[in-house]
Structure 1
Amino acid sequence: MSAGPRRVVVTGLGAKTPAGLTPRESFDALLSGKSAAQLIGHLVGDEVPMPLGAPVTGFDPAAYFGHRELPGLDRAARLGAAAALDAVADSGLSPEGDPERYGVMTGVAGTAAAVAMSEAHRGRTRIDSYSAARAMPNATAAHISMRLGLRGPSTTYSTACASGSTAVGEAFHLIRYGRLDAAVAGGTDSQFDPYVMESFQRIGAMSSRRDAPHEASRPFDADRDGFVMGEGAAFLVLEDRRRALARGARIYAEIAGYGSNCDAFHLVMPRRDGSVAASCMSAALADAGIEPSQVGHVNAHGTSTPRNDQAEARALATVFGTEVPPVTAPKGVVGHMFGAAGAFEALVTVLTVAEGVVPPVANHRRTDEGVTLDVVTGRPRRVASAPGLSNSFGFGGHNSTLVFRPA
């Protein structure tokens, strides 16, 4: 174990999202503010009337996996492992020394349940010897470890919509306190199943704007009516800063703080006052040794659901007072990627911190009465070099906040 806390940096990024198949493509799409939402009846069948979704398009799994690997990997595992392999390639990391010093942390939310329901829906005639493997929530982490030969902790976190962020935060602490030298961390999910989507429709969580899919997801907008289901994956390579510098790695940003707690309130609703979410943000800032006044922007969870956005706005006001920094929210473009959402939003925060430009919130026109958030709208906004804060709040009250600062 290390004698003291180590600094941890981000040296690699990989993404497969509704906005693009690389981090650059995805970030540029966010900067344009154009939503990827569409009607996806062709993906889920006729059980759900005209469902909305934001799918990943153009992805070719054969470019990453052999024909013997593919049957045992469901859609989420394929997207996740591919994004992780891209992140490692981007980092230039070549694990040396003890393979148990390198780990894999993966977040998933509902992919296993979606696979199981989809297999059952198709009937026993479609069940094969790979069905159990496809339904394993830990399949993505296991496959990444096997492909890369990483023998350190290979763990899967399921904290609903905060899963990807939780995975990144836990990897950060494992490196910071000396258990690992580097980790591949992120999240993945794909839940385009009729039963999953209908269940979200029944609780009123999904947008009903089927006549205008591109305008459906509108975080923090006063006329929001629910989220749009997305899918995808995002992974980051985290390393001990000294090792990264020694090998001449490109460093995107430093991960400086992580907070995690639970509302302990309701399975699908946040506390209205956002008090516990605010405590999570404050814990992450304290972990980073950063004052709220030093934060340059916030990458909000921003689901586009009435209650969640309201609670997050109150939480931000609690932490920052009347001086809330500029706020962005990627779900206006990519929808809600569930297990991948927090990891993708962490990736976007890294690029925003590195490049000094905050993407606008798609479809945002006006905030709720009495809310004074500085929501970035219309066009990207240039900001000074400063730390960025990324929020993820999941069903069950699972909260996770990450803090990144310029390298």
Structure 2
Amino acid sequence: MTTLRLLASDGTTSDAALNDSGAYTRPAAPLQSRVAYAAAHVVPRVWADNTPGQPADIDWDATLAFRRNVYSWGLGVADAMDTAQRNMGLDAAATRELIARSAEVAREEGGSVVVGVNTDHIDETHISLQQVIDAYISQLEFTEEQGAGPVLMASRHLARVASGADDYRRVYRAVLERATTPVVLHWLGTAFDPELEGYFGSSDWQTASDVLLDIINENPGKVAGVKMSLLNAESEISVRERLTEGVRMFTGDDFNYVSLIGDAPSPTARDVAERTRTHSDALLGAFAAITPVASAAIQALDAGDHAAYERILGPTEELSRQVFAAPTFYYKTGVAFLSWLNGHQPAFQMVGGLHSARSLPHLSRIVELANSSLALEKPELARERWHGMLRLNGVDA
């Protein structure tokens, strides 16, 4: 029996049987029952100065090959967003190049791509509301020129300068007025970015959600969907049920996505029947880590087999909770780590040195849960790489 060496937080080691891969098959036709995007990461050049504060030096071959792999499984790509280390190592020049290159790959592969639109190319910490509007519009116009779908990300600049809900309404109204294609609005919680405290004018999600819905309703035809990343299923379901017809809910809840996507958020059939909308679509960093499993699960939904969906995707939620464990904003490390284990990049390196953001025991638990949820695409390769990493760090493997 082939085994994996695991490392506990007290330094002790144990062994677990290495499972086979899930042996999932790529879809023969486009996925139908859900719209699903994997929020993709970036791969730096191995020999680059991947240290904090340095400009991103990206391995474009590996980075774009990762996106082609996502498309081959029937998922769309959400790019230049949090998973790609926006505000955590991906500088403005690299962001623009990533958007342009990713949009080109999407055209070549016939895939769907949405990309982040923000204000983060502005170096000043504090700017006026009009400057926030102008910064958003600048990135929006560039994104539309590339042919990618815009995701209006939550802006740190706006969070700093806004004095209340009306300032959010003003900014989004002005930006949406300039959009030539419907956009996705992104509500990112403080677990992902503490600087976004009080976004949409309140720290209370019920109050803030009223403002978000006002923005959507006041700008008809301008919003294609909402991506909620509050790690709170109750808030997502509440907003989902109140969305205007034609506006999708894209879950960004990496803790609770199985039920939110899977049409079973309530414990009883009666509760589900009373809901006007019973599922979310997906825009998830977790799906970049488990792309084949996510594809297989949605293929099961396409076939009407909800039990198979639960059986395939259900075990990955514990893995995702580990990847996104507090401090949640370091989840990118787990995504890149799994990409390396699965053979999608040559080394466990990240822009800005973020590969050092998690401990060996934390990564060991990721290995254990990826193995048990059949998320290791090439188990023998993953074992070889993981054991080599342990030995490099003085652990007998």
| Fold equivalence (TM over 0.5) | no
Q: TM-score, normalised by structure 1?
A: 0.29
What is the TM-score when the length of structure 2 is the normalising length? 0.29
Q: Say which structure is richer in strand.
A: 1
Q: Which structure has more RCO (C-alpha within 8 Å, separation ≥ 6)?
A: 1
Q: Which has the higher helix share?
A: 2
Which is higher, the Rg of structure 1 or of structure 2? 2
